[in-house]
Structure 1
Amino acid sequence: MKTIESDSVGVDAERIAIPAQKVSLTRVTMLGLSGQQLGPSAAIAAGSIPLYAGYGSWLAMVLALLAALCMTAAVNVFARKYVVTGSLLSYVGIALGRLPQRVVAASYLVGFLVVCAALSACFVTFSSSLLHTLGVEFALAGWFQAVTAVVISLLAGILTWRGLDASISVTAWLSFLPVPLLALVTIVAAMNTGVDLNAQLTLDGVSLTSLAEGTIVALAYFVGCDALAALAAETDAPKKNVPLLLRNVLLITGLSFIAILILSAPLMAEHLTALANGESPTQILAAAAGLEYLQMPIDFLLGAATFASLVAFMNYGSRVFATAAVDRFIPQVFSRIHPKFGSPTGSTVLMGVAAAFIPVALQVLTETPPLQSTAYLSTLYSLFWIAPYVLLGLGAIKEIIRDSRMEPVKITVISIGVFVFVALLVYTFVADPGGVFGALPYVMVGLTVAAFITFSVVDMLNKNYRYVADE
């Protein structure tokens, strides 16, 4: 195992330490499904998408899945040629150079910190609710929720520190435990209330605007899947495995979301007011199935699956941060790799601190409870991926043209993905729902600009340092 540093933006797997023991495609796929929150996301999608798209919820998810697959085509252009640990950060650097890579670094790195904070807040929401139901009176107290965020972030950081094998061994179990119970209550509820395929296939009461809004919301369920490419160097035959990995994770999660929407959308359409008032989709499903006693174990297992997702994203993100440190966007301490476990130690600590500190800060400084923090942070982190996706698509098209390959179908597919995400960005500003949600696009732009300026200064100082050293 060795560490090689370079200022180039080419193949970066050789520039950070790579564990001698490789991880199988199946095991990394399990980690990817954990990161995509297969169980919790399916449950949340069952309640959130019908609020926008009604009987067209299944189609909104199909369109979102297709858009995500379009961007995967852009990732595959690079993944089949280069073995990298920086995912989008490396790919954009390869195709477009230093300045666009700096834009991606600014948006992508901040986005990973926000993802970890959102998942930490989400876990606190599940755990506080469960403990309060069990009679723990102080479970909803701010101090207890803050302590919970710190403890769960510390545990996730320890697992990430221990390397991929330890992370996968734990998250594989936690991620899939809620799936059987969630599937059971969904199927029984559908049998009791009916599926009404005719209304769904004819898109009864669905307008083009509501379908578009539902598709935009559904896209958030696939944002971040590309980060699995950051684990490329730790699998056998990475140039072959990364495209398979992304495709498998997207299809498994996407088809699962579509299935639960087909089965539950008619029921949710009858409970839109309850959903809008904050009632849990799993509570509605369990009641319709006559299995109310499963509500508590489902919520417990969904909380465990959220913890698994936090561990998965820490694994992705820590490797992206390590690459950013090697590329001298951030201090070199974040490029340090554990000699035994192969995990980026400095980067893991940074992500753990963000997962603990941001939810606590929101609660202490702004009196925002975990449930609201989860909604704000989840919306915010989706916005941080837009610029990297657009630049990735443009870079992939340039890479295809540079290789003198005539692939009009692939270029068209990638262009569609770029268009969808540009439209998403425009929509977030034009829609302007007001309040905190209306401010989130501006928060994203402000943080990205601040990070970009910081990275530019660091880049300039590094260049001056190297120039003086050469003299």
Structure 2
Amino acid sequence: MTSATSSAEPEIDGLESGRLTRFQLTSLSISSMIPAVGMASFPMLLVINAGAGSWLAALISALTIVCVGRAVIAFARRYVASGSLYSYVGEVFGAWARSLTAASLLLGYLAMVASILLVIGAYTGSFLLSIGVDSGLDPAMQIALYAGASIVTALITYRGLDASVRIAVALTVVCLPLLLVVTGASAAHTGLHLQEQLTLDGSSVSGIVAGIASGSAFLVGFEGSAALAAETRDPKRSVPVAVMSVPVILGALYLIATILQAPGIILVSDAMAAGASPPAALAHAAGLPDGVGRATDLVVAVSTFAALIGFVNYGSRFAATLSAEGLLPRRLARVHPRFHSPAYALLLTIACGLGGIVTLVLASSGPMQTIYSAISTLVVYFWVIPYTLICVGAAVLLFQEGKLTAGTVVCLLIGTGSVVWVYISGILFPPPSPADAMSYVAVSATAVLAVSFAWVARRRRRAATAGREGGEADARASTGRP
């Protein structure tokens, strides 16, 4: 079977076809991007970099991902595949693009899991501090929190997609209202300071560009739900809706939240520097009861499980696809006979993400915000190659079908140019250390793994060719033909 297929048949034996409805897939897609955490952290990261220009960085981030989404759904409407972008680009560019995309996305999913674990630890640690547990942000406590979150997520995802969807969506529905209250209270307390925001008072180009990179980290991976296409009903219609729901709905939500929160975040910068989380500091400054600030930390930590559940599901399906094609050990493609989950691939995804974040925490002497800035930047860079290839590939695909319009060309050019510029700007306008080194880390790691995948794929093709030739020779010998 090819990497992408026009049928809805799963590529990994044992996955249950047509399990998810369009509503379930879309709900999981949005929940996986943790809107509560986005409202809690997205504006803060943009304000730190872009100041009053944070709303512009938020807008550009959303428009960039919308344009990339247009490219993704061009393939999703035609192909059903558990390999997502890896399968799609292979339909246009062939083996070299598959190897490159496989390496970049696999590393991206593992880095994403690591970054989500860090967020869970940071907000849970902040909550522990607020109730008098002084060791809440100590490395030992943080590692214990990462391990606990990993175990809980493994138990949930192991039981299949139904359990994952129910829990992830429930967490989002329960946790989001409190962040809306804090955001509204902060805006009412400080005002919007629209003149300063609209005139980009004190902002710099490098700061806005850095803000775009930070903001994109909350939208990168938006197409992950495409990895569940083989397990979705009517996937050629359902997957495009689920994919585009993230940049459209969450992009708009984060833009509004940034405009409302920016003045308050600037006001409480000292409190955040002292260790308070953004929503807790905003709640306190807005005069909300002390319990609200503590509750937001706990709520954000809990809601982040939705993202961990989603991306472990996406990453494990992707790893299982690579395994089914021989790029990773075959055992990773095994699916549980009862729960229809790729159990070994789930464990690999969680274990690598956990190992990565534990290593970073032990090796770094900086604050959590510094570590998060570095790993979130790395996550964005890992998606630069796949997003560039999917935009160019969509143009080629639509041109071959005679369906490439001027509007689509403009959209794909914006998507390609913005994604590439995010990476180039990281070199031209480097962020503070250690995030400045991530552009080189991403390229080096991707290159090494891509070459390894290409070598494995080449060996498999040679073995398959030799096997066919041997079989033909045996057939000729049995019939007495030369």
Q: Considering the TM-score relative to the shorter chain, is it more than 0.5?
A: yes
* Aligned mates of 1:365, 1:26 — CA distance in 2: 42
Question: After superposition, where does 1:456-467 map in structure 2 within 5 Å?
Answer: 456-467=454-465
Is 2:402 aligned against 1:404? yes
Q: Cα distance 1:336–1:271, how it changes in 2: closer, same or farther (>3 A)?
A: same
Q: Is the 8 Å Cα contact of residues 359 and 373 (structure 1) preserved in structure 2?
A: no
Alpha-carbon shift at residue 434 of structure 1 (Å): 5.5
Q: Is the 8 Å Cα contact of residues 10 and 231 (structure 2) preserved in structure 1?
A: no
Question: After superposition, where does 1:376-395 map in structure 2 within 5 Å?
Answer: 376-395=374-393
Structure 2 counterpart of 1:70: 67
Q: Cα distance 1:150–1:371, how it changes in 2: closer, same or farther (>3 A)?
A: farther
Question: After superposition, where does 1:99-248 map in structure 2 within 5 Å?
Answer: 99-248=96-245
* Aligned mates of 1:219, 1:184 — CA distance in 2: 24
Q: Is the 8 Å Cα contact of residues 106 and 455 (structure 1) preserved in structure 2?
A: yes
Alpha-carbon shift at residue 309 of structure 1 (Å): 0.8
Between 61-70 and 137-146, report the one with greater CA deviation. 137-146
* Aligned mates of 1:306, 1:436 — CA distance in 2: 24
Give per-residue Cα distances to partners, 1:96-154, cap 9 Å, x unaligned.
Answer: 10101110011110111111111112212222332243334554443333232222112
CA RMSD of aligned residues (A): 2.2
* Aligned mates of 1:21, 1:8 — CA distance in 2: 19
Structure 2 counterpart of 1:316: 314
Q: Cα distance 1:65–1:366, how it changes in 2: closer, same or farther (>3 A)?
A: closer
Q: Cα distance 1:145–1:285, how it changes in 2: closer, same or farther (>3 A)?
A: closer
Q: Is the 8 Å Cα contact of residues 323 and 331 (structure 2) preserved in structure 1?
A: yes
* Aligned mates of 1:313, 1:265 — CA distance in 2: 29
Counterpart code for 2:83: G
Give per-residue Cα distances to partners, 1:275-313, cap 9 Å, x unaligned.
Answer: 566643213311222113201111001001112211110
Between 281-290 and 92-101, report the one with greater CA deviation. 281-290
Secondary structure of the equivalent of 1:83? coil
Q: Is the 8 Å Cα contact of residues 363 and 369 (structure 1) preserved in structure 2?
A: no
Secondary structure of the equivalent of 2:460? helix
Secondary structure of the equivalent of 1:23? coil
Q: Is the 8 Å Cα contact of residues 193 and 288 (structure 1) preserved in structure 2?
A: no
* Aligned mates of 1:445, 1:218 — CA distance in 2: 21
Is 2:74 aligned against 1:80? no
Q: Is the 8 Å Cα contact of residues 149 and 355 (structure 1) preserved in structure 2?
A: no
Q: Unaligned 5+ residue runs, structure 1? A: 1-5
Is 2:38 aligned against 1:52? no
* Aligned mates of 1:74, 1:153 — CA distance in 2: 33
Structure 2 counterpart of 1:363: 361
* Aligned mates of 1:368, 1:60 — CA distance in 2: 26
Is 2:89 aligned against 1:92? yes
Counterpart code for 1:318: S
Between 12-21 and 455-464, report the one with greater CA deviation. 12-21
Is 2:40 aligned against 1:38? no
Between 279-288 and 411-420, report the one with greater CA deviation. 279-288
Q: Is the 8 Å Cα contact of residues 19 and 341 (structure 1) preserved in structure 2?
A: no
* Aligned mates of 2:17, 2:105 — CA distance in 1: 28
Q: How many aligned residue pairs are there?
A: 466
Structure 2 counterpart of 1:284: 281
Candidates 309, 331, 334, aligned match of 1:333: 331
Q: Cα distance 1:341–1:469, how it changes in 2: closer, same or farther (>3 A)?
A: same
* Aligned mates of 1:181, 1:8 — CA distance in 2: 43
Alpha-carbon shift at residue 53 of structure 1 (Å): 2.6
| Identical-residue share of aligned pairs (%) | 31
* Aligned mates of 1:199, 1:65 — CA distance in 2: 22
Q: Cα distance 1:123–1:106, how it changes in 2: closer, same or farther (>3 A)?
A: same
Q: Which has the larger radius of gyration?
A: 2
Q: Is the 8 Å Cα contact of residues 223 and 385 (structure 1) preserved in structure 2?
A: yes
Is 2:481 aligned against 1:468? no
Q: Cα distance 1:141–1:270, how it changes in 2: closer, same or farther (>3 A)?
A: closer
TM-score (normalizing by structure 2)? 0.90
Is 2:22 aligned against 1:25? yes
* Aligned mates of 2:214, 2:139 — CA distance in 1: 30
Q: Is the 8 Å Cα contact of residues 123 and 277 (structure 2) preserved in structure 1?
A: no
Give per-residue Cα distances to partners, 1:37-72, cap 9 Å, x unaligned.
Answer: 100111112212122333332222112111100000
* Aligned mates of 2:129, 2:280 — CA distance in 1: 16
Structure 2 counterpart of 1:348: 346
* Aligned mates of 1:148, 1:83 — CA distance in 2: 37
Secondary structure of the equivalent of 2:434? helix
Alpha-carbon shift at residue 11 of structure 1 (Å): 4.9
Candidates 259, 264, 269, aligned match of 2:256: 259
Alpha-carbon shift at residue 87 of structure 1 (Å): 0.8
* Aligned mates of 1:74, 1:220 — CA distance in 2: 19
Q: Is the 8 Å Cα contact of residues 121 and 371 (structure 1) preserved in structure 2?
A: no
Q: Cα distance 1:355–1:369, how it changes in 2: closer, same or farther (>3 A)?
A: farther
Q: Is the 8 Å Cα contact of residues 31 and 171 (structure 1) preserved in structure 2?
A: yes
Between 14-23 and 287-296, report the one with greater CA deviation. 14-23
Between 83-92 and 118-127, report the one with greater CA deviation. 118-127
* Aligned mates of 1:7, 1:466 — CA distance in 2: 15
Q: Cα distance 1:435–1:188, how it changes in 2: closer, same or farther (>3 A)?
A: closer
Q: Is the 8 Å Cα contact of residues 104 and 386 (structure 2) preserved in structure 1?
A: yes
Give per-residue Cα distances to partners, 1:437-458, cap 9 Å, x unaligned.
Answer: 2211111112111211221221
Structure 2 counterpart of 1:3: none
Between 51-60 and 378-387, report the one with greater CA deviation. 51-60
Counterpart code for 1:196: H
Q: Is the 8 Å Cα contact of residues 219 and 246 (structure 2) preserved in structure 1?
A: no
Give per-residue Cα distances to partners, 1:338-384, cap 9 Å, x unaligned.
Answer: 22222122210101111322222233455667554433222211110
